[in-house]
Amino acid sequence: MIAQLELLIEKYEKDIIGLSDRIWEVAETRFEEYQSVDILTTYLKENGFTVKRGIGGIETAFVATYGGTGPVIGILGEYDALPGLNQKEASPNREAYVYGGNGHGCGHNMLGTAGIGAVLVLKEWIDAGLIKGQIHYYGCPAEEGGSGKTFMVREGVFEGVDIAITWHPNSYASIFNYSSLANYQVYFEFEGIASHAAASPELGRSALDAVELMNVGVNYLREHVPSNARLHYAVTNTGGMSPNVVQAQAEVLYLIRGKDIKEVDGIYQRVLKIAEGAALMTETNLTVKFDKACSNYVPNDTVNRLLYKNLEAVGLPSYTEEELVYANQMMQTLTPNELAAAKQDVISMAGSSDMSAALDAMDGPFFNAIIPYELSKDSMAGSTDVADVSWVVPTAQFFAPCFVFGTPLHTWQLVSQGKTSLAHKGLLYAAKVMAMTAFDLLYDQNLIEQAKKEHKLQTNNQYVNPIPAYIKPNMNK
């Protein structure tokens, strides 16, 4: 099957790479991915898929389906970019086309198009009668700061899906073998009274003071929350540009993370008290706007083991001398701390397996080994809205190498590499792994039942969507 897989991927290779590059170029942020959706859905329709847009009440969410009766395998794709990371492709220097513009700093241009490569191959195998079932490609917007999938889960989009598979670009190959942190994202708006800051400051009530006091209070709270919890904030409105005016409006956005929703909510209640205290101290009015949330991820060992088998069977990408020259230039832009952090990630993911020799043997810009798989009880420091899918459908995901080892996510270096042959080779590798894993599941459907039994024991029907029913996707911020 691997030889046939290679031929089918080769058949669509130029198309898949072209789609990824076009998504990289338009670089749209959360819930604004209209051009990206047009590009992807047009191509899927042209290749025989039935496409339904606007699913889950989100204009930039869609599902493309193919196949007949039988189990349903869902492939999850993303295509949202990040603000402020615009960067020229293949440049070892920080230089943007549009300074302050958007950029694909998390590789979602690759993430979404590799999934399309996988479903194209699966369609061919269904047509050839090798497997029976349905393939659903889910176009999922706003993973970055919007929790698009969590909204989609809340609206029942994934009902009837038997197994969900996805991946994420990285600088090494491994299974996503641990949980993630749950989170809440909440806006705190303060409204005060404007006045002349010199002539009549006593008449003013500063909303900016309230934001600053809230931030100080939360900073003191950090010592008194669980060690794995995270509290991040951004001041999204300072109230104006003039220091000679007491600012009547100000706003701060908080992202609160914890090991699960229960822990997050407990921390949130304490943050809320701090915000209320800041409003009392400044005699301002507080408005709290819940923006989004996501749960902690539940990895499925059954499907993970299939993914790992196929990571090894497909084989890691190889690189040309020209690619190595560019990759070494990019590696020179990374700090010793960034490289050390990447090595620690490898060690953590490997668990009991000793990766020291493989790391010591690195003599170039790529980590040419697949990290051994074992299910972990640890949790990564970040969050993903794939987590909410994992609570309602047995879900597995993996990392594939798309850029130089040690390249951090959400950086200009990643954007630079995202439209190069390094990225292209990684996304084609990921497409092959997903296609083979879905094939295995549809060929031996006992594996699907095994994954479902595991999932039922893990979740115990305890899932509650963390986004209240009255909250709608925030497309204005």
Q: What is the pTM of this model?
A: 0.95
129 burial level (CB within 10 Å; 0-12, 13-18, 19+): exposed
Q: Is the pLDDT of residue 388 over 80?
A: yes
Contact 276, 245 (CB under 8 A): no
Q: Is the pLDDT of residue 300 over 90?
A: yes
pLDDT band at 377 (very low <50, low <70, confident <90, very high): confident
Residues with Cβ < 8 Å from 127, sequence gap 6 or more? none
Mean pLDDT computed over every residue of the chain: 96
What are the pLDDT digits (tens) for 402-457? 999 999 999 999 999 999 999 999 999 999 999 999 999 999 999 999 999 999 99
> What is the mean pLDDT of the segment spanning 286-315?
97
> What is the mean pLDDT of the segment spanning 97-115?
97
State how far the Cα of 406 lies from the Cα of 342, in Å rounded to an integer: 5
pLDDT at 11: 96
Q: From residue 108, give the alpha-carbon distance in Å to each of 17, 172, 213.
A: 13, 16, 37
Q: Is the pLDDT of residue 392 over 80?
A: yes
DSSP string, 451-469: HHHHHHHHHTT----SS-T
pLDDT band at 123 (very low <50, low <70, confident <90, very high): very high
> What is the mean pLDDT of the segment spanning 363-391?
92
- DSSP 3-state of 24: helix
Nearest to 418 by CA among 87, 119, 175: 87
pLDDT at 366: 95
- CA 258, 84, 215, 474 dihedral sign is negative
What are the pLDDT digits (tens) for 339-348? 999 999 999 8
pLDDT at 390: 98
Which structural domains are found in the chain, ordered by start? Answer: 2-179+296-459 (3.40.630.10), 182-294 (3.30.70.360)
Share of the chain above pLDDT 70, in %: 99
Joined tokens for residue 82? 């990040």
- DSSP 3-state of 193: strand
What are the pLDDT digits (tens) for 16-41? 999 999 999 999 999 999 999 999 99
Q: Is the pLDDT of residue 477 over 60?
A: no
Contacts of 193-201 with C-beta under 8 Å, sequence gap 24+, read: 193/246, 193/248, 194/245, 194/246, 194/247, 194/248, 195/245, 195/246, 196/244, 196/245, 196/246, 197/243, 197/244, 197/245, 197/246, 198/244, 201/246
Q: Is the pLDDT of residue 365 over 70?
A: yes
Residues with Cβ < 8 Å from 402, sequence gap 6 or more? 107, 110, 169, 170, 171, 417, 418, 422, 423, 425, 426, 427
What are the pLDDT digits (tens) for 44-66? 999 999 999 999 999 999 999 99
Share of the chain above pLDDT 90, in %: 92
Joined tokens for residue 436? 């083979």
pLDDT at 351: 85
State how far the Cα of 161 lies from the Cα of 169, in Å rounded to an integer: 24
Q: Is the pLDDT of residue 86 over 70?
A: yes
DSSP string, 88-108: -TT-SS---SSTT--B-TT-H
State how far the Cα of 71 lies from the Cα of 243, in Å rounded to an integer: 63
- CA 85, 54, 159, 134 dihedral sign is negative
Q: Which residue has the tokens 């996707």?
A: 473
| H or E, element range at 402 | none
Residues with Cβ < 8 Å from 30, sequence gap 6 or more? 80, 141, 142, 143, 144, 145, 146, 148, 475
- Cα–chain center distance at 108: 8
Q: Sheet holding 285-294: strands in order across?
A: 230-237, 249-258, 182-191, 285-294
What are the pLDDT digits (tens) for 217-264? 999 999 999 999 999 999 999 999 999 999 999 999 999 999 999 999
Q: Is the pLDDT of residue 379 over 90?
A: no
pLDDT band at 476 (very low <50, low <70, confident <90, very high): low
Joined tokens for residue 183? 């989170």
State how far the Cα of 25 lies from the Cα of 109, in Å rounded to an integer: 9
DSSP 8-state assignment for residue 82? B
